[in-house]
Amino acid sequence: MSENQTPVVFTGKAGEYFGIWIVNLLLSIVTLGIYSAWAKVRRKKYFYNNTLLDGVGFDYHANPINILKGRIIAFVLFVIYSVVSGINPAFGLLMAFILFLALPWIIVRGMMFNARNSSYRGLRFDFNGKYGEAIKVFIGYTLLIIVTLGLAIPFVAQRTQKFVISGHKFGVSNFKMEALVKDFYKIYLVIFIIPLLGIVAAIAIPAYQHYKVKAASHVSSYQTQHFSQASTSVKADMDTGGFIKVADVTTTEPVTTENYATEDAATADANMSEAEYLKNLTPEELAEYNKLIKAAEANNPDAGMTTPKKDSLAGAFAGLIGKWGIAAAILAGLIAMLLYLAVIFSFAAYMKSRIHNLVFNNTTLEHIGFFSNQRMRDLLLLYITNTIALICTLGLATPWVHIRMAKYTANHLALTGETDWDKFVGEKKDASRALGEEIADMFDVDISFG
């Protein structure tokens, strides 16, 4: 941390927050969700109060009654939608379309509500995003993504971040986000390329494996055929006392000897059992015979394996599969799930760290800048360990997980430049009071970007 940076500090503790979290959970269950409005205010207050700048924490001022009213209205609308959809699906689609058109208005009101109920050193935040711009960002650009088959996603992400960040105010001072579209494309390029490589690999690898299997099948057939020919010739030649000359047991050239046996003698020897044949060989001939057999089996391991031996191995393998099949299937499923989670977590860690750094490092509040240095590998480790903790504790580690994430975010975020808060608040305090409209209190929509 350099001298002109003011670090963000989070002082929350898992033990303290666990007490708040468990009480919120139990009371929300007992009251059938009614207490959830108070639970949200308690939770936000705890995190705001424990997030410090220059030793002073933020504050959250929302009235739980207003949040409860908003949730009741949302619940009533949902019930109406469900009933209407059951009576006439066409009306249900119409209501869904109306909700889609109202989405920009809901998002703007939600951000107004959260901003106006947040403060630092007694000075409130605000959001003054325009509805026309919200319609363009949340509806127009959504359609653009569809038309461009996803290629416009980085452009839309940049426009969305700019609308959200630049629409916020501290007092009467506007935040400004100046990250460029090309910077977003650089980040999203990895997201585009990796799945594309995965698709290519999914097609190429099976095709290559199929080619290898087919080629190996041809080679195996070829070797087996010529191994048999070579073995028959070897027996015939040895029986006649000839000197064997073998260049390659898999060659298509016939095996030669200095003294050729007659066709009848070769046929008789070919029909002779292997055991009887081997008894009649001299030690030198037996050594030469074994040498040739080993050379042939090295090129074709299955050539010298008898049918009973193959059947025995197959039976043992089948028995092993039958005994361990269920365990193996479970293990394979777990490995597949872990690989899937690793891929998902890797993408999430990459996107969150890169977008978070890009947005904050290009955001200013008058003369104050921001510095963020989150790293993908840190977030990936957090995601993995948090997931393991949640699974092992059946969700009871949720407070610990929330505290860890808040601490990591704070520890990798700082303000740059002079932070003379007394002067800043003194200049802006009167003007901010004139903006104290509370028409958005009925709306409680959590919006999170980057």
Residue type, 177: M
CA contacts within 13 A on the Cβ side of 46: 20
Residue that wins the pLDDT comparison between 448 and 162: 162
Average pLDDT, the chain: 78
CA angle 115, 107, 60 (to 5 degrees): 25
Mean pLDDT for the stretch of residues 245-254: 43
CA angle 437, 117, 163 (to 5 degrees): 80
| pLDDT single digits (tens) 74-126 | 888 888 888 888 888 888 888 888 888 888 998 898 899 999 999 999 889 99
> Could you tell me the two tokens for 57?
């924490």
pLDDT at 181: 95
| pLDDT single digits (tens) 137-175 | 999 999 999 999 989 999 999 999 999 999 999 988 899
pLDDT at 421 over 50: yes
Mean pLDDT for the stretch of residues 3-25: 93
Kindly give the residue spans of alpha helices, DSSP state H, lying in 50-173: 64-87, 89-116, 131-135, 141-147, 153-166
Mean pLDDT for the stretch of residues 419-434: 54
Contacts 24+ apart (CB under 8 A), 78-84: none
Contact 178, 165 (CB under 8 A): no
Contact 356, 374 (CB under 8 A): yes
> What DSSP line would sit under 150-201, residue for residue?
TTTHHHHHHHHHHHHHHTEEETTEEEEE---HHHHHHHHHHHHHHHHHHHHH
| pLDDT single digits (tens) 267-326 | 445 445 556 666 666 777 777 777 776 766 665 555 445 455 455 555 555 565 555 667
**pTM for the full predicted model:** 0.69
| Dist. CA 292–CA 230, nearest whole Å | 9
Mean pLDDT check: name the lowest of 67-71, 416-420, 424-428. 424-428
| Dist. CA 230–CA 246, nearest whole Å | 9
Residue 102 main-chain phi, psi, to 5 deg: -85, -10
pLDDT at 286: 72
pLDDT at 245: 43
| Dist. CA 30–CA 40, nearest whole Å | 16
pLDDT at 253: 47
What contacts 311, CB < 8 A, 6 or more positions away?
none
Strands (E), 334-412: 363-365, 368-372
Provide the β-strand partners of residue 370.
415
For residue 53, CA distances in Å to 8, 20, 357, 368 come to 5, 23, 19, 13
Widest pairwise Cα distance in the chain:
120
pLDDT at 433 over 50: no
